[in-house]
Structure formats: structure tokens, C-alpha cells
Amino acid sequence: MRSNRYWLMGVICFLIAVVFFAAGLFTYSIRNFLNPQYQISFNRNVSRENIINFNRVKTILLQGYYEKVDENRLLEGAIRGMAEVLDDPYTVYYTADQMKDFMEKQSGNYVGIGVTVYMDENDLLTVSETFTGSPAKEAGMRIGDKIIKVDGEDVTSIKDSELIIQKIRGVPGTNVEITVYRPEINDYIVFNMVRQVINLEYIHSKMLDDNIGYVQLKLFDEDISYDFANHVNKLIASGARGIILDLRNNPGGDYEQVVRIADMIVPEGLIVYTEDRNGKREERKSDANELNIPLTVLINEYSASASEILSAAIKEYGKGTLVGKTTFGKGLVQSVVRLEGGAGLKYTVSKYYTPSGVCIQGIGVTPDIEVENDQQYRYYSIEDIPEGEDNQLACAIQEINRLIAAQEK
């Protein structure tokens, strides 16, 4: 009898516990509905020690650091660290202010010093071009200069070029001090410049001799495909029977624009495709219209990204001869997402592949005819090389004349 009474009391206690637990869940769900709570969640394969240490370090710093600590700042640093630990210079977390600057519409006008740049193999921001009439050109900055400091701040630990560029740009008429390392002299140079509105022309064309058209693309900006078509048509109308396309020192630019230009040149077929880690493939194709006059393309080690997409498609379809040096080898695709509070994340999502299935990341595009300019002109802008001294251009002219003669037989 006593055992039955104990058993009954146990059942009653269990039922009471169930009722209270259910009521607690209901109350918790209502509370969260009215006042949403955000949690940090991890996958099961994350070690228990890391989760404990994450919270412990936060608590230690909040309670024991010698100065008062902003908890939001700690959390933002942890977010930034998630991007930095991937050791990918193209994956970066942006604060709200940085994101605002990054998302400003790219145009031919901006306030700065007038250079294009890229991150080299050592993650140093390197000058790939200086523009005529710009503060950088007038001060004596040259291709190949490594930007080490901006206004006295060491920027060599910053892996994203956009974050350094934001420090260089500013208000028209304000001063900026740039310290560079120049490899050719193995020394540092300090440039003091005044920021100004830079009016850039990313495309330049002219006739060489009576039958060769020359088009230089310095960057693939938002309207370049329209401009490219106009320049090529004018050259053909002026008597051009062959075109030299100069992509040297072109760091890339707008993906849509380079696809459109490639569509004008190559025959119907695949231009480029991207593939993510799950094997999802996105293809961009050209129509049946194509450029039907001889073409040579100038490339060098500073030709990157969109320049490589275009030159690879031209080479693989046999639409032109590539002349110069192997390109930079940037074949990664980034996506940008907005986060809460105006922050943002740029991260690598896939790789580029040429029509034949080659990923150019870390490899680049090799020329059909390899030729190097004299060492003394290695760090010169294209337009600064004295007339008659550009070996690569001379080779391209010789090749285009051969192609013109072969077509007209």
C-alpha cells in the first residue's frame, strides 16, 4: 500500500514538472516573440573549448581590462576576425562607414591621387598605373611602387585594397602623404600630394600608320563596352584593317562590361563560366556576331581579372594573337552583402574558368608571343615609353601586319 502511494506521488510530481516546463516554454516563446533575442550559434563540430574560451575572453576583457571596454567593439572585432582568418585578401568585413564608401557608384570622376592599384603576392598595395596630369604622376610616383604608409599610418597589415584606397581618397584640396617602397632602388620615398578631382578616360584610341587601329583600355568601368564599340567603329571607318587592343596595366573592373566586349569579338559560344564549391556553374555566352578583322592583344603582368577573361576568350577562340607577358592570375569571384546597421561583407564565392575550362587563379594567361620591354621601362606607364622604344607594341604591329596580309591573300 505504501509503495503504491509513493508511486502515485511520483506520477503527480512528474505531471506537475511537465506542466511547469510547458508553461515556461510558452512564456519563453511569448517573450521572444514580443522582444526578439539574437543568439550566436555554432555547428556541432565546433569544439566545446573554443565556445567556452570565446565567452571567457569576452568576460575577462569586459571585467578586467585596465580601461572600460565597449562590448560591441569586441564583437565587431570577432566578426572581422572571421573574415581575416581565411587568409583571402578578397574576403573582408566592412564597417558601416567603409561599406558606404565601397558601395559608392564607380565613375570616371573621384577625389584622390590618380592611380590604379592591385595587391601583389605579398599583400602589398602596388601601383599598376598613374594617370596623366594626376597628383601621383606629377609627384613622380611610378608603376611598381609599393604603398607602405598613408599619412604616417602603416597599411602593410591591411589585406583589402579598398580599405587602403579609402584612406588615400578624401576631400579635394586636402593633403595626403604617401610612403612607398620602390623595388628598383631598394629604398623608401615619401610623396606629399594634394587630393584633387580626377577625371579619368579609361579608353584611348588612335590610328597607327594608315591601316592599323589602336585601342587602349585602362579599366573596365560601367560604360566601357559602349565606348569600345564606338572607338572600334570609328577606327574601321578611318581605314583600319586590323586592331591592336592594349590591355597592359589594366587591373580589371566591371564583369558585365567585359562580357559584353567579349561578345562583340568572339563567335557564338561560351565566354566564361564561374563555379562555386558545390559545383554550381553559371555560364556567360556570346551570340553569332563577331569581329571579323585581324586582332592582336597586348598583355603584361599587371593585366588582371576582367582583362584576363577577355584575353583568354580571344586566345581560345583564335580571334587574335596575344603579345607580351603572362598576366597577373586573378580568377576569383566576389559577392557583397549588406549586414545590419549598414555594415557589409565582401567574400569570395567562386572561381572564373575560361571557355576550355582553365582556372586562371594564380596562373594567368600566357601570350602567344612572349616579348618584354627593356628593363629601364619596366615601371613606366604605357604612354611614357618613348616612341619607338615599346618592344611589345612593335611586336604587336609586326604581328597585325602579318595577319592583315594573310587575310587579304
What averages of pLDDT result for each successive group of 10 residues across the chain (409 residues)?
49 44 40 50 80 91 94 92 90 88 62 89 90 92 96 93 89 95 94 90 91 95 92 97 97 92 98 96 96 97 95 98 97 91 93 96 96 89 90 97 91
- CA–CA gap between residue 193 and residue 200 (Å, rounded): 18
Which residues, including other chains, have CB under 8 Å from residue 76's CB and lie 6 or more apart? 95, 343
Contact 315, 290 (CB under 8 A): no
- CA–CA gap between residue 359 and residue 377 (Å, rounded): 30
**What's the distance, CA 261 to chain centroid?**
19
Contact 390, 373 (CB under 8 A): yes
Cell numbers found for residue 170: 578624401
- CA–CA gap between residue 289 and residue 178 (Å, rounded): 47
Q: What pLDDT is recorded for position 39?
A: 65
Residues of the chain with CATH 3.90.226.10: 203-407
Contact 161, 75 (CB under 8 A): no
CATH number of 203-407: 3.90.226.10
Contact 147, 117 (CB under 8 A): yes
Task: Tell how many helices (H) and how many strands (E) occur in the chain.
Answer: 10, 19
How many other CB atoms are found less than 10 A from the CB of residue 80? Answer: 16
- CA–CA gap between residue 22 and residue 265 (Å, rounded): 69
For 123, list phi and psi in degrees, rounded to 5. 60, 40
Contact 273, 350 (CB under 8 A): no
Closest among 273, 281, 286, 255 to 352, alpha carbons compared = 273
Kindly give the pairing relationship between strand 295-299 and strand 321-324.
Answer: parallel
- CA–CA gap between residue 341 and residue 184 (Å, rounded): 45
Residues of the chain with CATH 2.30.42.10: 109-199
Alpha helices in 290-334 (DSSP H): 306-316
Our CA angle for 298, 385, 311, nearest 5°, is 10
User: What is the radius of gyration, based on Cα positions, of the chain?
Assistant: 29
Q: Which residues are catalytic?
A: 305, 330, 334
Which residues, including other chains, have CB under 8 Å from residue 114's CB and lie 6 or more apart? 130, 131, 133, 134, 135, 136, 137, 196, 198, 200
For 201, list phi and psi in degrees, rounded to 5. -110, 110
Cell numbers found for residue 97: 562607414
DSSP state of 106: P
Q: What pLDDT is recorded for position 406?
A: 92
Placement of cell 623608401 in the chain: 188
Cell numbers found for residue 64: 578586467
- CA–CA gap between residue 41 and residue 35 (Å, rounded): 19
Placement of cell 623595388 in the chain: 183
Class of domain 109-199: mainly beta
